[in-house]
Amino acid sequence: MGRRLAAEAIGTGALVAVVVGSGIQAAGLTRDGGVALLANSLATVLGLGVLIAVFGPVSGAHFNPLVSLAAWWTGRRDGQGPPLREVAAYAAAQVGGAIGGSVAANAMFARPLATWSTHQRHAGHLWLAEVVATAGLIVVIFGLARTGHARFAPAAVAAYIGSAYWFTSSTSFANPAVTLGRAFTDTYAGIAPTSAGPFIVAQLLGAVVGLVLVAAVFGSSPVNAAPHDTTDSPRSSSRDVGSPALTAQGSSRP
């Protein structure tokens, strides 16, 4: 369990460092918003894919409290999911890692280590975008697991997040831990604390919608593999790798 929590904290922290750091770098190199978003999204896609491949066999590479919670929900009847106490431990590690990743990115660019963001993202269309982005993420992760294709998670999840940077107005945060972490940086990728709450509520709603869609499309049968376990060997229980797996990062946008 200690190794799983370390993997979740380090992985989530690295993900946020990629998102925030590449956002700072992009904003400093160009005044073109489109070019900056392209650079930020490309860095996130590459970083996310690597992190899932590296940490998936250890913890499932959730990097996202909603993925951990969805893993519990989908596996609660057959014992394949993690118990709620592990979900809570995962969430704490993910949030702590996300804040640490934001602090690390600030430090690398000689910014104040932790400053509340002033970037307001408070609008109904952004909340709707978060519902859509999170629902899609849950469908991708658990759809791969239900069909026995979890080994494709590094590429598939990263590709989905990369596309969601562009097809959602919020640029797809889709992750409460990442949202909280990004509140600690007053830079390109930041989100004001007053905007974070509604984003998280929208993400929770999106996770519920995603689980309904998974049940409707793939049925209610147990998952065939832990969502982010990228190994090919069968496992008797998703708990062997800390349960399902995946993440959702969160993009940025001015």
Q: pLDDT, tens digit, for every residue of 19-37? A: 999 999 999 999 999 999 9
Domain range 2-241, CATH architecture: Up-down Bundle (1.20)
CB-based contact 216:142 (threshold 8 Å):
no
Residue 229 has pLDDT above 80, yes or no: no
pLDDT digits (tens, 9 = 90+) for 68-111: 999 999 988 777 889 999 999 999 999 999 999 999 999 999 99
* Over residues 176-182, mean pLDDT: 98
pLDDT digits (tens, 9 = 90+) for 156-170: 999 999 999 999 999
* Over residues 125-130, mean pLDDT: 98
**H or E element at residue 3:** helix 2-29
Q: Which residue has the tokens 């509520």?
A: 201
pLDDT, residue 31, reads 93
When the pLDDT of each residue in the chain is averaged and rounded to a whole number, the result is 89
Strands (E), 212-253: none
Alpha carbons 175 and 237: distance in angstroms, whole number: 25
pLDDT, residue 81, reads 85
103 token code pair: 């602090």
Alpha carbons 80 and 206: distance in angstroms, whole number: 23
* Over residues 164-186, mean pLDDT: 97
pLDDT digits (tens, 9 = 90+) for 36-73: 999 999 999 999 999 999 999 999 999 999 999 999 99
pTM confidence score? 0.88
Give 10 or 227, the one with higher predicted confidence.
Answer: 10
Percent of the chain, pLDDT > 70? 87
Torsion of CA 74, 195, 5, 41, to 10 degrees: 90
Torsion of CA 99, 100, 106, 108, to 10 degrees: -160
pLDDT digits (tens, 9 = 90+) for 143-157: 999 999 999 999 999
How many C-beta atoms lie closer than 10 Å to residue 114's C-beta? 14
Residue 234 has pLDDT above 70, yes or no: no
- DSSP-derived secondary structure letter, 170: T
pLDDT, residue 240, reads 38
